[in-house]
Amino acid sequence: MKKRIVVTGLGALTPLGNSAPATWQAIRESTCGVGPITRFDTEGFATRIAAEVKGFDPRSVMDGKEARKMDLFSQYAVAASIEAMTDAGLPRGSYDPVRCGVILGVGIGGFESFEAGHRAMVEKGPGRIPPMTIPKLIANIGPGNVAIHLDLQGPCYTVTTACSSGTDAIGNAVRWIENGTLDYVLCGGVEATITPFGIGGFNVIQALSTRNDAPEKASRPFDRDRDGFVMGEGAGILVLEDRDHALARGAKIYAEYGGYGITCDANHLTAPHPEGRGGIAAIRMALADAGLRPEDIDYINAHGTSTPTNDPIETRAIKAAFGDHARRLRVSSTKSMTGHMLGAAGGIEAIISILAIRDGFYPATINLDNPDPECDLDYVPHRGVAGPIRAAMSNTFGFGGHNGILIFKKHPT
Catalytic sites, residue numbers: 163, 303, 340
Spatial separation of the C-alpha atoms in residues 216 and 336, rounded to whole Å: 9
Are 272 and 401 spatial neighbours (Cβ–Cβ below 8 Å)?
A: yes
Beta strands, E only, 304-382: 330-332, 361-362
Taking the CA atoms of 208, 214, 215 and 220 in sequence, report the sign of the dihedral they define.
Answer: negative
| Dihedrals phi, psi of 37, to nearest 5 degrees | -70, 130
Residue 365 identity (one-letter amino acid): T
Spatial separation of the C-alpha atoms in residues 210 and 37, rounded to whole Å: 12
Spatial separation of the C-alpha atoms in residues 256 and 97, rounded to whole Å: 24
CA 107 from centre of chain: 10
**Burial (Cβ within 10 Å: 0-12, 13-18, ≥19) of residue 285:** middle
